Amino acid sequence: MVQVIHDKHQITINQKTSSKVLIENVVMMRAYINYTVLYMKDGSTKLVTRTIKYFESSLESHGFIRIHRSYIINPKYIVGQDSETDMLLMSNGQEVVISRRKKRIMKGFMV
């Protein structure tokens, strides 16, 4: 769940321990069965016990885009693209595939 705390937008990772991360530090999210893996700007990862769909609607207002059923990305961190294979290169070194149906949406964000 996205929360505003002292004018900084944060995602709650674990409600029991109140672990949170700043949205601006999230490069991308990847679905992993019923979990979501958050890839952070510093190269670390966080595993959240929520599905990627749980985050999708609340992160759209922060500029995040769902480019595949398994990926939500932050377009600020796109550093390259390969139009032949429909892959994006993210600032953390991850390569992310763009689904066939999302190519049209991504044209405005391509580097």
**86 has a pLDDT exceeding 50:** yes
Mean pLDDT, the chain, integer: 84
Give residue 5's pLDDT band: very low, low, confident or very high (50, 70, 90).
very low
pTM of the entire structure?
A: 0.83
Q: What is the mean pLDDT of residues 26-48?
A: 93
Residue 103's φ and ψ, nearest 5 degrees, are -60, -40
SS3 state at 11: strand
Produce one character per residue of 16-32: b if its CB has 16 or more CB atoms within 10 Å, e if not: eeeebbebebbbbbbbe
Determine the longest span between alpha carbons in the chain, in angstroms. Answer: 45
CATH number 3.40.80.10 is the correct assignment for the domain at 2-76: no
H/E stretch holding 71 reads strand 71-73
What was the pLDDT predicted at 103? 80
